[in-house]
Chain A
Amino acid sequence: MLQDDEREFVLRTMEEREVRFVRLWFTDVLGFLKSFDIPGEEIPEALEEGVGFDGSAIDGFARIQEADMIAWPDPSTFQMFPSRPGSPAVARMFCDIHTPEGGPFEGDPRHVLRRAIARASELGFTFYAGPEIEFFLFKDAHEPEPLDAGSYFDLTPLDVGSDFRRRVITGLEQLGVLVKDSHHELAASQHEVDLRHTDALTMADSIMTFRLAAKEVAQELGVYATFMPKPIQGAWGSGMHTHLSLFEGDRNAFFDPTDQYYLSKVARAFIAGLLRHAREISAITNQWINSYKRLVPGYEAPVYVCWGVRNRSALVRVPLTKPGKESACRIEYRAPDSACNPYLTLAVILAAGLRGIELEYDLPPEASDDIHRKSDAERWSDGIESLPESLPEALGEMQRSELVREALGEHLFEWFIANKRAEWDEYRSYVTGLEIERNLPRL
């Protein structure tokens, strides 16, 4: 019934606005946005029967013998693009991917997140997320050359960064993606845009929309936006700290007015779940070889598996809730980087947290502020582990994880590990500049 109304809304709007093309969006396993345009007149059929496409060309989708896939546009995501004078009206819809036999396709990240959300819903929870997305603006895609420092100072207007942020934010608002805050980050040419929390599925769609919008606006301004986790040696990396909360109806399930930090039993168990499974989900939240170059001490990135209230280097930070602001009570998971697949990342985070709630994990004591200064032995005796130091270490953890296997589903789990092992195999035989610089003169 609701579906019929949504369809009618889409069809009438397209007619009224003379929409010539609709962009159908979906995301591959590694988090790249895929898009194909279909003419407006094919939309009625697309909403009834889906649109067939060859899945064998998409990373992580089908093997050759099962190449046919169906993209089902989700009419609730129908959104017109801000119109440009003289250009035909264009709209977009996110798609769910189905197999020709019907039913959701196991390799579709949106389906993986939908399944995790349904699981939370069975337990009575709605999952909300709000990410802080960091990224760099460079002159082009070839060199990580900052715009607002060094030799390019003269080449670009000083305020290209703020002009960029203003344009991205305005554009996003017209697409229904709301920005809470944005500012210049610590490193030269680095920026942060914080999205206002939404339910997890909408948020994953929003992050995909944001990344595209950021890249497009950068292109308009003649610069390049990158979400690479650690593009500059010796500078801060680009994280995607994500604020999380669970609601039971109108009530924030993380809030307890009687607790020292206003954290409920549910919140404590959720954090405990995140901490216990952090190493297993790392390969998803930090999926690139380069991701692990961000997770090193000294750049405010999390390294140790611990939580804290004020401690900004902890893996899980608990922002202080102001009295009367129960709905804002949340936790912040600081591992993910801006180049993750947001669907899979939110799905494994949710799975880890829910596991903590279901099995009633105990939350270990809060980490002290000086955790970075302690020796490995001291941390060991405190029971504090480190996040994986490299992609293969993370993959090893993931491979042993029944939690991640269940959250991702067999198909996606196996494909992901194989793909990432291949990435590592290619890398490990690569001789780096550092080795030449250090070794060649001496060996």
Chain B
Amino acid sequence: MSPSRESVRPGPAPAVAEQVLVVGDDEDLRDRLGADLTLLGYLPVSAQTLDPPPVGPSITLIAAGAEPKEAIRVSEELRSAEGFGHVPLVWLLDPADLWVVAGNEHLCDEFVRLPYAAEELAARLRLLGLRTGRDGPDIVHRGPLRLNTSTYQAILEGRVLDLTYMEYELLKLLVASPGRVFTREEILARVWGYDYFGGMRTVDVHVRRLRAKFGQDHAWLIETVRSVGYRFAQIRA
């Protein structure tokens, strides 16, 4: 039984959407999860296998399907992947397969029974966020960058960046949708507001400043898309 669309109620939307990785063989299940996660305000990234291993999500859902031991294998692989050690793992299992959790608690931070109800999924993801204390709804991880939207702090590999308000707002916008290209007009309107009388080049100036503050090693986090605009890099290992 799959949940009706109407049953999905977005929770309090995170300040910046969190990226959720969905791994598993069952394409239909991945698609349903993707659609529901989007409605819940997350940014789903779907993958059949971990090759290439995506980096950057703040939560991973593992839909093991017919072979429950697959969840153990995938989780072990993720836990040892670079930059993945801290990412909570959620297993989606048939009730009959719940036995695999016993003895593997170190690999499973939460589980959801299949077929899942979107509201239960939403509640478990929120509780997971609170419980692990790692990310409230206000913290976004993107590879080496962490943005805390309640304290306005951006931390790059443990180093606090000294940003101005506009630099921070620009970064927040880009970070919300990695890989999405924003035009200068759109950035100007959304960060500076429509009545701002500075020109489009203000955007270029601020992107350069952000890159300078990231330092040479991380300047690539913001990509220039020629004659269009800018985007935050989609981070891969």
Contacts and interface: CB of A to CB of B under 8 A. Distances in A.
B168 interface: yes
A249 B200 contact: yes
Interface stretch (B2-10, B70-78, B114-122, B157-165): B157-165
B213 A174 contact: yes
Given A12-B152, A13-B153, A80-B162, A250 B199 contact: yes
A372 to B, nearest CB: 36
Interface stretch (A141-149, A196-204, A258-266, A360-368): A196-204
A16 B185 contact: no
A9 interface: yes
A175 B184 CA distance: 23
Interface in B148-191: 150-153, 160, 162, 164-169, 184-185
B205 A202 contact: yes
A380 B212 CA distance: 49
Interface residues of B, number: 27
A79 interface: yes
Interface in B183-237: 184-185, 192-193, 197-202, 205, 208-209, 212-213
B201 A327 contact: yes
A415 interface: no
Contacts of B185: 250
A199 B202 CA distance: 7
Interface size class of A (residues with CB under 8 A): 35 or more
Contacts of A79: 162, 164
Which of B150, B168, B200 counts the most A-chain CB atoms under 10 A from its CB? B200
A173 B197 CA distance: 25
Contacts of A250: 184-185, 199-201
Interface string A158-201: 00000000000000011110100000000000000000111100
Interface of A: 1-2, 5-6, 9-10, 12-13, 15-17, 75-82, 118, 121, 126, 128, 173-176, 178, 196-199, 202, 247-250, 327
Interface of B: 150-153, 160, 162, 164-169, 184-185, 192-193, 197-202, 205, 208-209, 212-213
30 contacts: A1-B193, A2-B192, A9-B168, A10-B165, A13-B152, A17-B153, A76-B164, A77-B164, A78-B165, A79-B164, A81-B162, A82-B162, A121-B197, A126-B201, A126-B202, A173-B212, A175-B162, A176-B164, A176-B167, A176-B212, A178-B209, A178-B212, A196-B208, A197-B205, A198-B205, A199-B202, A247-B201, A250-B184, A250-B199, A250-B201
